[in-house]
Structure 1
Amino acid sequence: MYLLAASHSGSTLTAMLLNSHPDTHTTGELKVTALGDIDRYRCSCQALIKECPFWNKVNKRMADKGYQFEIARAGTDFRGIGSNYVKRLLRPLFRGGMLEFVRDTALMLDPTWRREYPKILKKNEDLIHSVAEVSGKKVIVDSSKIGLRLKFIKRIKSIDLKVVRVNRDGRAVALTYMDPAGFADATNPELRGGGMGGDRREDMVSMQEAARRWLRSNEEADAIAASLSTDQLVQIKYEDLCADPDKILGEVFTFIGVDPDKRVKDFRSVEHHVIGNGMRLDDRSEISLDERWKERLTEEDLRIFSGIAGEKNRALGYS
């Protein structure tokens, strides 16, 4: 199962709640990028990622499949293929239809892509199966979010792909881009940045850039969603999930084919091995709607956001 969303839209919370079911296992972001100092990066179980027993078992299972593999250096991101030509072609977000045909045609002109793409696709396939084998679970949840990655993952014929798109009010998401440490990371400052601490000043952006980033992500999600069949895709709102988790999770569990009544109510009581957003390192079990944007964003912030992304926000149901 793949979680499709703009970053900081509630996908990590959704993923961890899905992990509360005995038939599902959430890995977090299997694209495995931007971990920073991998000697200090922590799994959601609080162990250093290089020392986590679960991920070391996955590493061993991948070795049995013929890989020199370490989850901290997974090499599963399609955008990591080394050619500068390829990197330029992969920079634009998924746009669907003819534009993706043009991109694929241009990519196939590059010998590096022709050589490496099948290998990375196979590595992703084997990693998904390795996680399933180690966890013993029926459904594996990849919360990588990116639409372009989903385009490639959906080509893996050995998995029955289901996609859950998570939407959140763009004004709330924009605030997380403006101040990720304060609004999109672990509550404990020492655990921010993947467990390394810090204020993440280098990640802060203006409201103009935040609104554009949110808009682009949702335009990409619209385009990739249009390529999916109705039995492959369900859409939920972060706000609805927080207001009535039993109802929304019940719908999602039914959609992915597991019994909704089997989920564990206290999702923090379940063992998690999640890579991604810092909230995975928190210990609070309460599910509460974060609407701090209503107090923190200024009238000027709201005006800028509305001018850039207001139409899309309203189209998603946010007045």
Structure 2
Amino acid sequence: MFKPIEIKENRAVENPTPVRLVYILSASHSGSTLLAMLLGAHTHLVTVGELKATNLGDINRYRCSCGSPIRNCEFWSQVRRCMIQNGYSFDITDSGTDYFRINNRYIRYLLRPLVRGPVLENIRDLALNLSPAWRQNLPKIQNQNFALIQTICRLANARIIVDSSKIGLRLKYLLQNPAINVKILRLIRDGRAVAMTYTDPAAFADSENPMLRGGGMGGDRNNEKISIDQAAWEWRRSNEEAHQILARVPSDRWMEVRYEHLCRNPKVTLSRIFRFIGVEPQNTTTTFRTKPMHVLGNGMRLDTDNEIKLDERWKNQMTPEQLARFDAIAGPLNQQYGYHQSITQENP
């Protein structure tokens, strides 16, 4: 069972009423932005996508999901003003909520590995606590996360925020924050579909409109393409990290969600999720594109089509060689999730 760590250095937030957060834990490109927007369309929920607010690229050209350049978005300007009024510095280019942004080589080295077993994680924590920079900055980041969540919920008149940051190590430290009440949605998608997106993110994991890809700036994202071997390993390792985290979280604090089930039967899947979160189910499948949102993250947030489509292009786009390489590296884990082995491997 996961035991939150008391943050003795935390002085800015004393005995606050915990804010409520739903964290989507998954490999990237598993449908987290779609899920976050469907949940965020509920009257008592809000989402801005990835609360870590990183990798925005050219901030002067990056577009909020409302369509405005992020610098001109009135919602994010309001967030900034409210944060400053409450004694917190905030800028969308440096939100202060990312645990990886501490400018210290020693800390970045220790934070580089994904979450592993309890012994190695204890060693990591001990090593981090030897650093004065970590002891000084961790409480600040914890406070900043609390304050940003509280601010956004107040501006949106919402009870709960949905964070689609996905990263396991971020979740580890959010779970240690006594000011945040976290529930987890463990989102899983067929690894072959996910791996394909890593080999060409612009084509398979971005806005349908080429002009809106790359955060609304356009572009082919060629610098992000990786080999199928790297893609399979990244998907596998991300899911192994999720297993390690959830092994230490009480079962009533997390719920498994399948991307394929969400797309095939969204109303039933969302009703189960809403009940898990603790709100009355609502049909958000027709409103998630019409409710004003200010989402950061995957380019699909900029699309206008409100039809929920199951994307299984991997079945036609991946070559037999790519499928064989994926199966060799990540096939056993994919099959553990109930996804059948690639036909090329079943019938060589």
Q: State TM-score, norm by structure 2.
A: 0.90
Question: Match for 2:125 among 104, 112, 123?
Answer: 104
Could you give the per-residue CA deviations for residues 223-275 of structure 1, whole angstroms, max 9, x where no partner exists?
A: 11112111110011000000000000000000001110364633211111111
**Secondary structure of the corresponding residue to residue 46 of structure 2:** strand
Structure-1 separation of matches of 2:237 and 2:324: 18
Q: Between 4-13 and 57-66, report the one with greater CA deviation.
A: 57-66
Q: Distance in 2 between matches of 1:55 and 1:185?
A: 23
Indicate the residue corresponding to 2:236 in structure 1: 215
* Other-structure match for 2:84: 63
In the alignment, what sits opposite 2:24? 3
State the 1:317 CA deviation. 1.4
Work out the CA distance in 2 between the residues paired with 1:272 and 1:235. 25
Tell me the amino acid that sits aligned with residue 20 of structure 1: A
Residues 1-43 of structure 1 show CA distances to partners (whole Å, capped at 9, x for unaligned) of 1010100000000001101111100111011111101111111
Structure 1 gaps of 5+ residues are: none
2:270 alignment partner in structure 1: 249
TM alignment of 1:308-319, pairs within 5 A: 308-319=329-340
Distance (whole Å) between structure 2 residues aligned to residue 290 and residue 41 of structure 1 = 26
Alignment partners' CA distance in 2, 1:15 and 1:106:
35
Check the 8 A contact 2:285/2:306 in 1, yes or no. Answer: no
Deviations 1:106-162 (A, max 9, x none): 001111111111111111111111111111101100110001000001122222211
Residues in 1 aligned to 2:325 and 2:129: alpha-carbon distance in whole angstroms: 40
1:83-122 aligned at under 5 Å gives the runs 83-122=104-143
Q: Aligned AA for 1:200?
A: R
Aligned pairs (5 A) from 1:6-21:
6-21=27-42
Amino acid at match of 2:93: A
Runs of 5+ consecutive residues of structure 2 not aligned to the other structure: 1-21, 341-348
For 2:173 and 2:78, the matched residues in 1 are separated by 26
Q: What's the counterpart of residue 166 of structure 2?
A: 145
The 8 Å contact of residues 42 and 48 in structure 1, kept in 2 or not, is answered as yes
**Distance (whole Å) between structure 2 residues aligned to residue 56 and residue 15 of structure 1:** 22
d(CA) in 1 for partners of 2:214 and 2:282? 35
Q: 2:78, 2:64 → 1: CA distance?
A: 14
Contact 2:186 2:255 in 1 (8 A): yes
* Preserved CA contact (<8 Å) 2:215 2:299: yes
The one-letter code of the counterpart of 1:154 is: L
**Is it true that 1:49 corresponds to 2:70 in the alignment?**
yes
Pairs within 5 Å for 1:194-209? 194-209=215-230
- CA deviation string 1:35-71 (max 9, x = no partner): 1011111111111111111111111111012122112
Counterpart of 1:178 in structure 2 is: 199
Secondary structure, counterpart of 1:234 in structure 2: strand
SS in 2 for 1:161: strand
Quick one: distance in 1 between partners of 2:255 and 2:243?
Answer: 12
Choose the corresponding residue for 2:55, options 34, 43, 53. Answer: 34
CA contact (8 A) 2:59 2:93 kept: yes
Q: Distance in 1 between the 2:330 and 2:118 partners?
A: 23
1:238 maps to: 259
AA of the residue aligned to 1:27: V
Q: Which amino acid aligns with 2:309?
A: S
For 2:61, the aligned partner's letter is: R
Question: RMSD over aligned Cα, in angstroms?
Answer: 1.0
How many residues matched? 319
Letter aligned with residue 73 of structure 2 = C
Cα distance, 1:262–1:306 mapped onto 2, change above 3 Å: closer
Within 2, Cα distance between the matches of 1:100 and 1:65?
A: 34
1:167 CA displacement: 0.3
SS in 1 for 2:272: helix
Name the larger-Rg structure: 2
Using the alignment, how far apart are the partners of 2:226 and 2:285 within structure 1?
A: 38
